[in-house]
Structure 1
Amino acid sequence: MNFSIFPKRFGLFPYIFLIYLGFPIYYLTKEAGMKQLLGYLMVLLFLLTYRQIYFSIGKRSFSYWLAVQLAIVFSFSLFYHLNYMFLGFFSANFIGWYQDKRLFRRGLISLVIVQLLPFIIHIVKVGSFFTTKELIYYVPFLIIMLISPFGIRSMNRRMELEKALDKANQKIEELVKREERVRIARDLHDTLGHTLSLLTLKSQLVQRLTAVDPERARHEAKEMEITSRAALQQVRELVSDMRAATIAEELIQMQQILRAAGITYQYDGEVNFSTISPFIQNIIAMCVREAATNVVKHSRATHCSISINLLSEKMNIVIKDDGMGVSVNRVFGNGLRGMEERLALVDGELTLSNHNGAVLEITVPIIKKAEGAAG
């Protein structure tokens, strides 16, 4: 069994607080005889209560150790010197750890009694009130001591809420990941089913054309290869991180990328894409990402705008910039070719033209799922 002076989760904080025990020990050097010996014994007992309270948090013994500590502070303040009242800062800190309001009020009332009663007894004994100098010395610290439990309790409650929030967020993340896996699996089945059916029909066509029209058969086979490669790549991208990118998230990313490159940004169109399949959203989001990358790298533009319109049967995305434009006859690069291949999976189309800069237009048919269909 490993022994520790204080719980490790509190770090160095408990040890730093021990510095303040040097003051009562110093004052006790001015005492003599039995009074000095009893004083040192009470300091040792106070130190024991300080340690045990840390190990008693949330337990019934917490209040017992705190009561002993308050009794020691009271004894020191009453029978030794009022300066020992500053030991009450230790107890004030622990009172703030009470989560139960009833226990917190009891602890606070006990602290008030322990701190104020020695003052009253001192006034009765001396027969006169404190001087202005004494009031300036004691009163500010006394006020701070009595209100500090509220601040500490508020801080501890906030820390507890943050811990609870972290746990809740972790649980939400787990549930989201689980839901994303189910959704991606469902969308892969629903959407890629169309592509696989297309490949099946084309393979049958190739078989018939092999003897009749070999050239067309080779062309159809090449299209099958391109479609299957794009489908495989899309599956890998979706499965790799188990979370499809959304159009809304990618629009935010696009805005940040363009602004970081010193390109102004304007968006016009829909803001709610919840009716669009996550699979299709992922394809469109990756196309938007590639378009933003091309604008930053190749366009030399100072402004870029994007508009997205949802029609009854299709979605239309237009991305414009005021840059140097493109050569319409130029063979598409890898980025644009990748966009075409992704869009082919959902029968989408891409056109690139010039109008005071480059204009990229994407059209994607909206797949509507039948509600209540049997699985």
Structure 2
Amino acid sequence: MVKENKNIEDYDIFDNLPFYRFQLVFWVVIVFIAANLLQFLEEAMYDKAIVFFILMLIHLLLHWFSRKFKNKYAWPYLVIQCSIIFISAFIMPSGSPAVLIGLLPIIIAQSIYIFDNSLKVIIVVILLYLPYSYAVSVNYGIQELPFFIPILFFIMAIAIFYSILYVRQANAWRRMQYYLSELQQANQKIEELTIVNERKRIARDLHDTLAQGLAGLIMKLEAIDIHLQNNNYERARKIVQDSMLQSRITLKDAREAIDDLRSVSMTEADFVNEVEREILKFTTATSMNVNKSFVSLSSLPTHIKKHSLYVISECLMNIAKHAKATQVNISIWIKEGGLFIEIQDDGVGFHPDTIGKKVGHYGLIGLNERIRILKGDIKITSAKGEGTVVLVNIPL
């Protein structure tokens, strides 16, 4: 079964890019170590260091699962992350430059991915700038702002540039994954259609070889039975010999159909000989008179000859089994860029509307399928007691 189609938005750019999260873990660990070093150079604060470690651990966990907050909880996620950063800056006052300058640009970069909206990103930058300035003023004094603010914006610019570049590459990856999924689904659909078409082809070939061959043998066996009842042993023996030959031919055709050996090029002489052979089989089994006319068939492609032969064989088999005819006319000619095949009998006829509605009768369905493969037309004209005319037109 083909899987349900997914939209391109369904492919999260970070779901299959784990190195993004590992880079974040590495960077936060570096910030954690730097903040502790700066703090412990000024004053050792072990109890606050433990709280700082817990906050950084929560900060990392939120980063790890940040993709889950992209749509529904974007603002709460950013508020919690920023709160953790500013609380950590006040817990570790001497290490606050590493915390603020190291972690705030990551939040800005994430906002680009989460919101995908320039106005919202600008709002995030402004909202972060105010508490950043306040934290620096409290920890180092307002006179240090001219020194810390340019540093923040410089690192923020680098982070934003990297984030934009990364998101573009990740979006390209997402599109690639989407189109790859679509291609896989299309290939799977093609495989399913190929299997269906192959099953139809096998059904046609089996019908045109085994089914027709066995039907012909049954008619000959019935004829043998009649001749034996009339003590006409010589005629019965002749039909037995013909039946043995037909059995071998049917077996050969079945093997060729299975091995698809009928793709071998068929010349005009081969095609005419095959048609003559089908007519001979028909007249031997039914004793009906067949009038035939073949005109200018040298330019026919091999696959058209192959399907045309099956069409003729199927029509003759239907006449033998159902028509109760005494006269059959077969004409094959080329005219105005098309191949025409006309098969006419003077039998009992039938209603063409019943084609395909009787269980177990698939011959005419196979005819229509073969003509459709050749992009041709088939017209069946028949009525009760008025015989049947099958006219096939195949474009060359």
TM-score (norm. length: structure 1): 0.48
Give the greater-gyration-radius structure (CA): 2
Point out the structure with the larger helix share.
2
TM-score (norm. length: structure 2): 0.46
